[in-house]
Chain A
Amino acid sequence: MYAVEYQKAKSATEASGLIAKSGGKALAGGQSLIAAMKLRLAQPGTLVDLAGIPELAGIRVEGGALAIGAMTRHADIASAAEVKRTIPALAALAEGIGDRQVRNMGTIGGSLANNDPAADWPAAVLGLGATVVTHKRRIAADDFFKGMYETALAADEIITAVSFPTPKKAAYAKFPNPASRFALVGVFVAQLGDGSVRVAVTGAAPSVFRAASLEAALAKSFTPDAAKAARVDAAGLNNDLHASAAYRAHLVPVIASRAVAAA
């Protein structure tokens, strides 16, 4: 790891100020960031630790939505009674992130700000049409994810919470990369309160995306068979050592059908 300065903020606003001043980066759980710094793939210069900032903590049910504080750890989301009761798909997704030790440290906000193309949370946020709340604005999921490791966040913008609408039905299914166990293909399906269907796919492309063909098919019939019969174009999908674009295109409907079955 390159040399780095470390600062600790007491509020999101203070953190934003420290980042703006230093040109550094926010440190949430650090499960991706520290790993990247160790390999010298990231050199933030200054880290501003968000741990212990009260406004970033907590899980709240707010009307028809579930708000999860940005610094909530995956393991806590997985075991939270409010989550299990309102949107159990999120608890199940959280329980499948990384491994148990990573879940004990990693946070939802950190994962979203990082926007790893194979991360799980982006699929849930996009799949449910959630709102990413920062210390200065609210960003709709459809506007948040901009590309590989790119989001709508400004460099000094701090995610404070994510607000998920409570769906009628939702589930996430993941087909893991045999080596990294990240999503080779992960599909989040949701039937929202207004009956609309959203399907978000992670791992398959440079960034999470909505699968139009699956949304159309599931809007007609929210069944595993309908999902499996849908076709996804391989163009634009990742093609790497572990899976060709064609294989990923094949897997998306298959994994979507498993998510629908679980919803």
Chain B
Amino acid sequence: MGANESGYIGQSLRRKEDRRFLTGAGQYTDDVTLPHQTHAYFVRSPHAHAKIRSIDTSKAAKAPGVVAIYTGGDLEGVGGLPCGWLITSVDGTPMKEPPHPVLAKGKVRHVGDQVALVVAETRNQAKDAAELVDVDYEVLPAVTNPVEALAPGAPQIHDEAPGNHCYTWALGDKGAVDAAFAKAAHVTKLDLVNNRLIPNAIEPRAALASHSASDDSYTLYVTSQNPHVERLLMAAFVLGLPEHKLRVIAPDVGGGFGSKIYLYAEETALVWASKRVGRPIKWVAERSESFLTDAHGRDHVTHAELALDKDGRFLAMRVNTTAAMGAYLSTFASCIPTILYATLLAGQYTTPAIHCEVKAAFTNTAPVDAYRGAGRPEATYVVERIVREAAVEMGIAQDEIRRRNFIRTFPYQTPVALMYDTGNYDQTLDGASELADVKGFTARKAEAAKRGKLRGLGYSSYIEACGLAPSNIAGALGARAGLFEAGQVRVNPTGSVTVFTGSHSHGQGHETTFAQIVATRLGIPVDNVDVVHGDTGRVAFGMGTYGSRSLAVGGTAIVKALDKIVGKGRKIAAHLLEAAESDIEFKDGKFTVAGTDRSKTFGEIALTAYVPHNYPLDKLEPGLDETAFYDPTNFTFPAGTHICEVEIDPDTGVVEVVRFSACDDFGNIVNPMIVEGQVHGGLTQGIGQALLEACVYDPESGQLLTGSYMDYAMPRADDVPSYQVSTRVTPCTVNPLGTKGCGEAGAIGSPPALINAVLDALAPVGVTHLDMPATPHRVWQAIQSAKAAA
């Protein structure tokens, strides 16, 4: 499909899925009730690190309503939860992959680690009984910070990972980087912490597992972003079940942001137990459990250096990062601070030499994995923070230093393995500057100063690699799975269409966007297209939704299936119209013999395919139902510039985001309304990271200190401004839709823009460094320290 084909493409259609959500008719996992179902509650470790001396379930087993209680010892023959990406250390050794038991065996390694599963008639009864499970712990010293975890003498978390070391990985030409630094006119150095975050999808994780004795099959309803991957991992790698005997349904899912990609212990234990109990089992996380056990995000400690020539052109960058893995390797944990991080360190710039070394450490915390952006926000934070510091140190304007270093010829091979296909970074910087009214900033700053407030402006010109991913490249980099997507277009006899996609919508609006693509291509009303997703029993296969991949990869799979539908339709039309297939044109829902007015509508062709009375049955099968698998040839590269303006109250340290402008290039856009919504949400999560959110563990006890909304600051409506967003388009050359992806951009671009703005505002009072989040307390302390130093 061409970029300019009209139809529904580019229209802000209101969403097809909204009516059910707005009337309370959505079906989320906890809304599903099965006859005779039981309820599960997990006994969890209150300690960050302890040996389990013994577990006594006898008292709990006698509690009212208890159906069954299981501990790690009961799970004979059940494997550990696997990690889907092998990272190889610089010395050639594979990363350390200690077991990740479904229920703890002998030891617990973070607060919240699951120790026992209690199944009872009601949730309250399960929870009451769980309190009676007597676990005798021998508490061990804990370590929660990744740098401290790698230090000599740190508590040893896994026998299989000496020194808590998972891997040391590197990318780039170290020799070239060292040589470039040796001749640099200026070197900027920066130490950064990328704060640990807790994803906090508003729907807590949940699962409902049942077993059918009649055919020894299982059905699992679960809050998942990728039900097929969940099924594959659970069946083949953990429970040893035939894949066709497990149906995984991810119905309406209330937000994911990465946290629902992974195979978790809870749903695995439920599936296993459902056969033993002989009744369905439901588990719904309490929010406190979500805080303790959802995979967290970020948690990097980084030292970075940028070498520049006398004119502010980047010569080389050197980055050393220590990344936390948490207590166990979550499904994609290992690839986040490596493959999805170091490869993005070129940013939008022509930096010719880059070297990055990453050390990954086990810590006594919840596992860390992909969270909106996943590696790319961390990379962008390093690049855009150090670019800002370099510009300040060299006296170059923030926009100017970026322009001096922008990549302008495409395709562009970066020194960190990626090949950018297309882009135009000047135009997104121009666009953001317009939205932000940069010209008027000086006057606004002066006006704020009169009121005793400090104003600052911060830039971030980000890039991300999306459209995950070319399977061959991913495989060479350690992926243990393919990263294609599948799409099926089923034309019903009356010409309506059901689309089955392996992508999963948990807020992204696929039911609308994908229908727009299909309706446009087939020339039929969008109401005649329904999109089905999230059910291994209905959708052929799928790799799911993450990494801003759904439209670029999942959408393209549907386009490829549409190609087949149209191709077959042309054959049928040629037969009916007694013309050569090569003479049949398909446009606006009609198959026409070129140069004539002889045509058949799409509906007529569909009916013919299913009522093949006059049909070339010797050459063509009846029916009109096509499936395509699409494996992309390259990543896609959304990019843009975000400009943040803040006003700081020096009396209290409160940072107010007074203006936030984002100009993004996502390639072609199918539904601008949905794209803007994705940007707004991403920006708010990025602003949340930079301004409010921090997951904090007590360094001694390993207790989670931010274990509820009382202590973990979620962005609320009055924490953020109304946004100014716009887009520029350089069509992606990788896929036929020309689309790049928009889901993560907001969360990737915004944190450095905000911190750069805060530092700009605080420069007059002598503050030169601040780590996220810029809480009032932290800003006030920075001001006091600067005053004391002056």
Q: Mark A residues whose CB is within 8 Å of B.
A: 1-3, 39, 175, 178-182, 241-244, 247, 250-251, 254
Contact = CB atoms under 8 A, between A and B. Distances in A.
Nearest to B124: A1
Given A39-B288, A247-B781, A254 B651 contact: yes
B148 interface: no
Contact of B712 (A179, A244, A247, A251): A179
A1 B711 CA distance: 21
Interface in B693-747: 696, 705-706, 709-714, 716
A241 B128 contact: no
B652 interface: yes
A259 to B, nearest CB: 14
Contacts, number: 41
23 contacts: A3-B124, A175-B652, A175-B776, A178-B775, A178-B776, A179-B692, A179-B706, A179-B710, A179-B711, A179-B712, A179-B713, A180-B709, A180-B710, A181-B716, A241-B706, A241-B711, A242-B711, A242-B777, A243-B777, A247-B777, A247-B780, A247-B781, A250-B780
B710 A241 contact: no
A254 B776 CA distance: 13
B702 to A, nearest CB: 15
B652 A254 contact: yes
A254 B781 CA distance: 15
Nearest to A243: B777
A251 B776 CA distance: 11
Given A178-B776, A241-B696, A241-B706, A2 B711 contact: no
Nearest to B127: A40
A87 B326 CA distance: 53
A3 B288 CA distance: 20
Nearest to B715: A178
A194 to B, nearest CB: 32
Contact of A244 (B652, B710, B777): B777
Contact of B128 (A2, A179, A251): A2
Interface string B18-47: 000000000000000000000000000000
A125 B705 CA distance: 32
Interface string B644-656: 0000000110000
A122 B279 CA distance: 51
Given A1-B124, A241-B696, 16 more contacts: A3-B124, A3-B128, A178-B775, A179-B713, A179-B714, A180-B709, A180-B710, A181-B716, A241-B711, A242-B777, A244-B781, A247-B777, A247-B780, A250-B780, A251-B652, A254-B651
Interface string B751-785: 00000000000000000000000011100110000
Interface residues of A, dominant DSSP = loop
A241 B124 CA distance: 32
A234 B711 CA distance: 22
Contacts of A250: 780
A173 to B, nearest CB: 11
Nearest to A1: B124
A178 B710 CA distance: 9
A223 to B, nearest CB: 16
Contacts of A175: 652, 776
Interface on chain B toward A: helix, strand, loop, or mixed SS?
A: loop
Contacts of B713: 178-179
Contacts of A39: 288
Interface residues of B, number: 21
B655 to A, nearest CB: 10
Contact of A179 (B124, B709, B780, B781): B709
Nearest to B694: A241
A241 to B, nearest CB: 5
A262 to B, nearest CB: 15
A105 to B, nearest CB: 18
A242 B775 CA distance: 8
Contact of B692 (A3, A178, A247): A178
A172 to B, nearest CB: 16
Interface in B286-326: 288
Contacts of B696: 241
A39 B708 CA distance: 11
A22 to B, nearest CB: 20
Nearest to B712: A179
A244 to B, nearest CB: 7
Contacts of B652: 175, 251, 254
Q: Which of A178, A180, A254 lies at the interface centre, i.e. has the most chain B CB atoms within 10 A of its CB?
A: A178
A180 B776 CA distance: 14
A180 B708 CA distance: 9
Contacts of B710: 179-180, 182
A1 B131 CA distance: 12
B631 to A, nearest CB: 44
A181 to B, nearest CB: 8
Nearest to A35: B710
Candidate in A1, A241, A254 with the most chain B CB atoms within 10 angstroms: A241
Contacts of A247: 777, 780-781
Interface in B622-661: 651-652
Contacts of A178: 692, 713, 775-776
Interface string B486-529: 00000000000000000000000000000000000000000000
B780 A180 contact: no
A220 to B, nearest CB: 22
B776 A241 contact: no
B78 to A, nearest CB: 30
Contacts of B128: 2-3
A145 B711 CA distance: 25
10 nearest CB pairs, A to B: A179-B713, A178-B713, A180-B710, A254-B651, A243-B777, A179-B711, A247-B777, A241-B705, A178-B692, A179-B712
A178 B775 CA distance: 8
A198 to B, nearest CB: 23
* Max count, chain A CB within 10 A of own CB: residue among B288, B714, B776: B776
A181 B692 CA distance: 12
Nearest to A175: B652
B675 to A, nearest CB: 30
A182 B708 CA distance: 14
B440 to A, nearest CB: 29
Contacts of A242: 711, 775, 777
B640 to A, nearest CB: 28
B196 to A, nearest CB: 14
A139 B256 CA distance: 52
A193 B455 CA distance: 42
Contacts of B651: 254
A175 B716 CA distance: 16
B667 to A, nearest CB: 37
Contacts of A251: 652
A182 to B, nearest CB: 8
A180 B777 contact: no
A254 B705 CA distance: 28
Question: Which residue of B124, B711, B777 has the most chain A CB atoms within 10 A of its CB atom?
Answer: B777
A227 to B, nearest CB: 12
A143 B568 CA distance: 87
A39 B131 CA distance: 13
Contacts of A182: 710
Interface string B266-281: 0000000000000000
Interface string B116-144: 00000000100010000000000000000
A244 B692 CA distance: 17
Interface in B646-682: 651-652
Contacts of A1: 124
Nearest to A38: B286
B706 to A, nearest CB: 7
A32 to B, nearest CB: 12
Contacts of B716: 181
Contact of B711 (A3, A180, A244, A254): A180
A174 B696 CA distance: 25
Contacts of A181: 716
A226 B215 CA distance: 81
Contacts of A254: 651-652
